[in-house]
């Protein structure tokens, strides 16, 4: 039945390409808009168009593909929705860099031409990552690929903006926001990264206007004093109680500002008085609103002091700091400087120090949305896995502040708001208006700003399915079944999808969220370009093959744990692929004369019963693990079964049958079983190692249906008929006997090629029968010349003794090895058992234990004690005997 032989080793590179093309050609990744099969859907965390595949992506998408393939094989109508994110700031930066090389800025080009350039860039270089995902084996429904700037998705953005606006959930206003002086845009609170900075605390004196002394304030940002509009103290502070309401002179500016009282001030910090700069500090801004203080912005968007900064106008902010400090000192206002460590906010994208600035921005009123998003998790409509993240989610949602959604960029969804030059009317619409609905004027200007990239991402679970159109896909796949993403974007993305999904769709965006950890290097450090410890996933794929790489990622994904990636580990699993390949070669060779059509009614013999029972266990374990996203447990179960049960034991024990030494009937039974078990094994492994499993599935003609591909075959289920505890125990008893002989061989340094004559003593006739039935297995695997079994055999002279339960294994040593080494071996064994025995008996001598422990625990302990006692006695007898001889 088989035509071609397998190559010496699996060649990943060629096979991967061929098989992936084959899958795509056969449309296996495609999900049906409507189907009788249960729907299962995942939307991909859309990578940035500018992105290249890194370890985080590799992990994230491997896990998704594992689940997707698993569910697809389980018969679900499975959708993995792929796509990309336009990544406003990142992409705009890339193209601006490109322009810079040509010596021009985006302003030289103008908005329209610049955007044309970005699109051009996107078509040409964007989406490299999509092809990289294909190399990872991702079975996304590529026909449905979406981009956040697509027509449809842009429509969804407008639709949601208008709805939020009309319902009073979006507002515009002058507020203090996080401003990046390099990107020239506002960013949200989340996009600010705080970094420890060793700086100074400058203490400055502000004299009272009436000449009656002074007040000292401390600041980490002396240059902002140019915009101070008050000094604040705590209302209860006895030092300042009578100063409240007085005026002080603002140094350098020669301006009078009031002393106000606010309990925001901490009395025991510094002098207990704080300068208030509403234009440059969020807290001061809040205070200014409470006290109706003047709000002065002393800087422009580039971080340069403007006309409100007096003589410092035109100076860059840090230059201004130096000059302000120098002048304060010169004029005697500087009281002192002390070293001070504090946090400085930086732009997450370009690491420039953030400048809090007052500007007109659009905001989403977030509290009502957050409340619903929390409810959904409380009521388990969405389950967060691992559950430890729930606390973080709730905490963030509880303390959330309004979301600044406007960005002063060009690349992105332009805010659908127009202003009428004629009457000043504000028009908010999903379709570009031609004329003002109020005055009919045609001179309309659209808002210059675009929306935060995360605004469109937050709609991803339904916008990709066609919303606002009521598509079949939307009906079938929303809410999606599962989201798999890194915990680092829990707030950025997951939380916002929750809010928007519930707000727009009236239902949660996904039932389960699985949050995985970060991939670090082998020393546990975060990978970064600057550290130079980046491991390129594509390089790993080239080197070890996709299957080994994916298996490694899954194997090291324990819940809530970081993944420490190291090439050595991947290599280890490459060896596993090789092992499977070679097992297939043996299987394939052995099946050469197997006729699957010819009926073989012969019953399974012991090894067949055993391997099927063990396979059942593997199936059960893998399914249970995957159902709970315990990826490492699933890989461990498969690895152990394939290597240590199927290869190490079943194949070894079956070799005589395969080589025709046992008879044609047993050969057929073995062939039948090998084929079945090997096929199921491949199916279990397929979600993790899609390529090698497909290759072997086809090479071995394991499919039974018209569908040739393993990826659309039915995922295995445990079969009750295969559970056979008696067979497992009997087989494992034989295995222990074999191991026992091998142990003696190894410990005594008996050459593997030295055939042994072994005697076995059993407790009863039943035991005798069992061993006799397994005699051939023992002879073969322990490499014996002969094996004799009898009930209660007297211990012979000059033997090494092994103990397995009630069974004694005697290996005659005459002429093979000296007695002393057996004595040493027995003593070692004995010491081990003695320790166990001691513990067990002490436990059973304890009255409290006997009274209070569960009966089954006591029974188990009694069983243990008995077997320890037996073993001890047997070893002791053997030792006495052998000692007697040596004397």
Interactions with RNA, residue window 822-851 (CB under 7 A): 828, 838-840, 842-843, 846, 848-849
Q: How far is the CB of 478 from RNA (least distance, A)?
A: 28
Residues 6+ apart with CB under 8 A from 531: 525
Q: How far is the CB of 785 from RNA (least distance, A)?
A: 15
What is d(CA 644, CA 638) in angstroms, rounded to the nearest whole number? 10
When binding is defined by CB under 7 A, the residue of 5, 432, 522, 627 that contacts RNA is 522
Residues 6+ apart with CB under 8 A from 207: 213, 214, 248, 249, 251
What is d(CA 560, CA 551) in angstroms, rounded to the nearest whole number? 18
Q: Is 578 in the site for RNA (CB under 7 A)?
A: yes
Return the range that interacts with RNA (CB under 7 A); candidates 180-188, 278-286, 406-414, 476-484: 278-286
In the bound state with RNA, the residue whose beta carbon lies nearer, of 389 and 510, is 389
Q: Which of residues 179-208 bind RNA (CB under 7 A)?
A: 189-190, 194
When binding is defined by CB under 7 A, the residue of 108, 488, 507, 627 that contacts RNA is 488
- What is the token pair recorded at 874? 């047997």
Q: Which of residues 281-300 bind RNA (CB under 7 A)?
A: 281-283
In the bound state with RNA, the residue whose beta carbon lies nearer, of 125 and 659, is 659
DSSP three-state, residue 812: strand
Q: How far is the CB of 296 from RNA (least distance, A)?
A: 17
Q: Which of residues 641-700 bind RNA (CB under 7 A)?
A: 643-644, 647-648, 651-652, 655, 659
Total residues at the site for RNA (CB under 7 A)?
91
Q: Where are the alpha helices (DSSP H) in 340-440?
A: 367-378, 389-398
When binding is defined by CB under 7 A, the residue of 564, 703, 757, 823 that contacts RNA is 564
Q: Is 751 in the site for RNA (CB under 7 A)?
A: yes
In the bound state with RNA, the residue whose beta carbon lies nearer, of 562 and 870, is 562
Q: What is the DSSP string of 292-359?
A: T------B-TTSBB-GGGGGGTT-BHHHHHHHHHHHHHHTT-EEEEEEEEEEEEEETTT-PBPEEEEE
Q: Is 568 in the site for RNA (CB under 7 A)?
A: yes
When binding is defined by CB under 7 A, the residue of 17, 239, 526, 769 that contacts RNA is 526
Q: Where are the alpha helices (DSSP H) in 458-512?
A: 460-463, 472-477, 496-500
Return the range that interacts with RNA (CB under 7 A); candidates 441-449, 469-477, 722-730, 852-860: 852-860
Site string for RNA, 528-557 (x = CB under 7 A): ----------------------------x-
Q: Which of residues 621-640 bind RNA (CB under 7 A)?
A: 632-633, 636, 639-640
Q: Which of residues 384-403 bind RNA (CB under 7 A)?
A: 388, 391-392, 395-396, 399
Find how far residue 591's CA is from the centre of its chain.
41
Q: Is 169 in the site for RNA (CB under 7 A)?
A: no
What is d(CA 186, CA 178) in angstroms, rounded to the nearest whole number? 6
Answer whether 315's CB lies under 8 Å from 304's CB: yes
Q: Which of residues 417-476 bind RNA (CB under 7 A)?
A: none
Residue listed under structure tokens 């809090």: 356
When binding is defined by CB under 7 A, the residue of 109, 244, 427, 558 that contacts RNA is 558
Q: Is 348 in the site for RNA (CB under 7 A)?
A: no
Answer whether 369's CB lies under 8 Å from 503's CB: yes
* DSSP, res 436: -
Q: Is 586 in the site for RNA (CB under 7 A)?
A: yes
Residue listed under structure tokens 């203080």: 293
Q: Is 313 in the site for RNA (CB under 7 A)?
A: no
In the bound state with RNA, the residue whose beta carbon lies nearer, of 429 and 853, is 853
* Torsion sign (Cα): 620, 622, 623, 624: positive
Answer whether 807's CB lies under 8 Å from 772's CB: no
Q: How far is the CB of 566 from RNA (least distance, A)?
A: 8
What is d(CA 792, CA 806) in angstroms, rounded to the nearest whole number? 10
Q: Which of residues 764-803 bind RNA (CB under 7 A)?
A: none
Answer whether 840's CB lies under 8 Å from 868's CB: yes
Q: Which of residues 214-273 bind RNA (CB under 7 A)?
A: 217-221, 264-267, 269-270, 272-273
DSSP three-state, residue 774: coil
Return the range that interacts with RNA (CB under 7 A); candidates 129-137, 213-221, 311-319, 331-339: 213-221
Answer whether 781's CB lies under 8 Å from 652's CB: yes
């Amino acid at each position: 039945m088989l035509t071609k032989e397998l190559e010496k080793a699996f060649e990943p590179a060629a096979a991967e390409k061929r098989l992936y093309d084959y899958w795509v050609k056969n449309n296996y990744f495609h999900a049906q808009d409507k189907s009788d099969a249960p729907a299962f859907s995942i939307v991909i965390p859309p990578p940035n168009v500018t992105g290249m595949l890194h370890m985080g992506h590799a992990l994230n998408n491997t896990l998704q593909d594992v689940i997707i393939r698993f569910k697809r094989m389980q018969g679900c109508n499975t959708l993995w929705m792929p796509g990309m994110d336009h990544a406003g700031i990142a992409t705009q930066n890339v193209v601006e860099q490109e322009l810079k090389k040509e010596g021009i800025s985006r302003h030289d080009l103008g908005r329209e031409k610049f955007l044309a350039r970005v699109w051009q860039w996107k078509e040409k270089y964007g989406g490299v990552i999509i092809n990289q995902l294909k190399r990872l084996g991702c079975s996304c429904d590529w026909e449905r690929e979406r981009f956040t700037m697509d027509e449809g998705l842009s429509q969804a953005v407008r639709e949601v903006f208008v709805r939020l606006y009309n319902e009073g959930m979006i507002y515009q206003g002058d507020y203090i926001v996080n401003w990046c002086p390099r990107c020239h845009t506002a960013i949200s609170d989340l996009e600010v990264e705080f970094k420890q900075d060793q700086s100074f605390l400058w203490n400055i004196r502000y004299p009272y206007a009436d000449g009656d002394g002074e007040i000292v304030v401390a600041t980490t940002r002396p240059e902002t004093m140019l915009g101070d509009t008050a000094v604040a103290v705590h209302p209860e502070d006895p030092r300042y109680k009578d100063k409240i309401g007085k005026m002080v002179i603002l140094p350098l500016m020669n301006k009078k500002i009031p002393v106000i009282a606010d309990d925001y001030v901490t009395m025991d910090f510094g002098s207990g008085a704080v300068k208030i700069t509403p234009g440059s500090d969020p807290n001061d801004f809040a205070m200014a609103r409470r006290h109706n203080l003047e709000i002065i912005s002393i800087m422009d968007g580039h971080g340069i002091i403007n006309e409100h900064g007096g003589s410092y106008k035109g100076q860059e902010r840090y230059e201004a700091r130096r000059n302000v400090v120098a002048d304060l000192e010169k004029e005697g206002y500087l009281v002192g400087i002390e070293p001070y460590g504090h946090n400085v906010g930086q732009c997450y994208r370009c690491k420039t120090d953030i400048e809090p600035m007052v500007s007109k921005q659009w905001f989403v009123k977030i509290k009502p949305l957050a409340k619903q998003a929390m409810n959904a998790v409380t009521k388990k409509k969405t389950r967060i896995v691992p559950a430890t993240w729930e606390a973080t989610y709730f905490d963030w949602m509880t303390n959330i502040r309004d979301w600044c959604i406007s960005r002063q960029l060009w690349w992105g969804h332009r805010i659908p708001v127009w202003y009428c030059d004629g009457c000043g009317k504000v028009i908010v619409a999903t379709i570009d208006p031609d004329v003002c609905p109020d005055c009919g004027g045609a001179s309309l200007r659209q808002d210059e700003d675009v929306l935060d990239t995360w605004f469109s991402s937050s709609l991803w679970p339904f916008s990709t399915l066609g919303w606002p159109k009521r598509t079949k896909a939307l009906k079938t796949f929303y809410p999606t079944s599962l989201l798999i993403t890194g915990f680092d974007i829990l707030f950025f993305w997951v939380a916002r999808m929750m809010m928007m999904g519930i707000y727009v769709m009236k239902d949660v965006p996904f039932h389960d969220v699985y949050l995985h950890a970060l991939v670090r290097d082998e020393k546990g450090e975060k990978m970064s370009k600057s550290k130079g410890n980046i491991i390129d996933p594509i390089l790993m794929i080239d080197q070890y093959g996709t299957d080994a790489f994916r298996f490694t990622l899954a194997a090291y994904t324990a819940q809530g744990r970081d993944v420490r990636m190291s090439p050595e580990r991947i290599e280890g699993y490459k060896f596993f692929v090789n092992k499977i390949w070679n097992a297939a070669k043996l299987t394939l060779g052995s099946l050469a004369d197997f006729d699957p059509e010819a009926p073989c009614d012969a019953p399974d013999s012991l090894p067949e019963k055993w391997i099927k029972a063990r396979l059942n266990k593997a199936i059960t374990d893998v399914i249970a693990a995957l159902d709970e996203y315990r990826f490492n447990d699933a890989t461990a179960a498969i690895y152990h079964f394939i290597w240590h049960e199927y290869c190490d034991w079943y194949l070894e024990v079956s070799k005589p049958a395969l080589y025709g030494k046992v008879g044609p009937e047993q050969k057929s039974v073995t062939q039948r079983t090998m084929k079945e078990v090997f096929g199921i094994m491949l199916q279990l492994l397929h979600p993790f190692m899609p390529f090698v499993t497909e290759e072997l599935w086809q090479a071995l003609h394991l499919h039974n249906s018209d569908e040739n591909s393993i990826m659309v075959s039915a995922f295995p289920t445990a079969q009750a008929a295969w559970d056979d505890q008696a067979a497992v125990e009997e087989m494992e008893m034989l295995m222990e006997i074999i191991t026992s002989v091998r142990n003696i061989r190894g410990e005594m340094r008996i050459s593997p090629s030295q055939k042994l004559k072994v005697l076995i003593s059993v407790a009863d006739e039943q035991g005798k029968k069992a061993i006799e039935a397994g005699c051939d297995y023992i002879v073969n695997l322990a490499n014996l010349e002969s094996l004799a079994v009898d009930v209660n055999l007297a211990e012979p002279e000059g033997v090494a003794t092994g103990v397995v339960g009630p069974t004694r294994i005697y290996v005659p040593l005459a002429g093979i090895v000296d007695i002393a080494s057996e004595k040493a071996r027995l003593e070692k064994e004995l010491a081990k058992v003695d320790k166990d025995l001691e513990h067990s008996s002490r436990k059973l001598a304890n009255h409290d234990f006997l009274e209070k422990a569960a009966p089954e625990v006591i029974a188990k302990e009694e069983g243990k004690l008995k077997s320890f006692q037996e073993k001890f006695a047997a070893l002791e007898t053997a030792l006495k005997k052998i000692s007697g001889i040596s004397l």
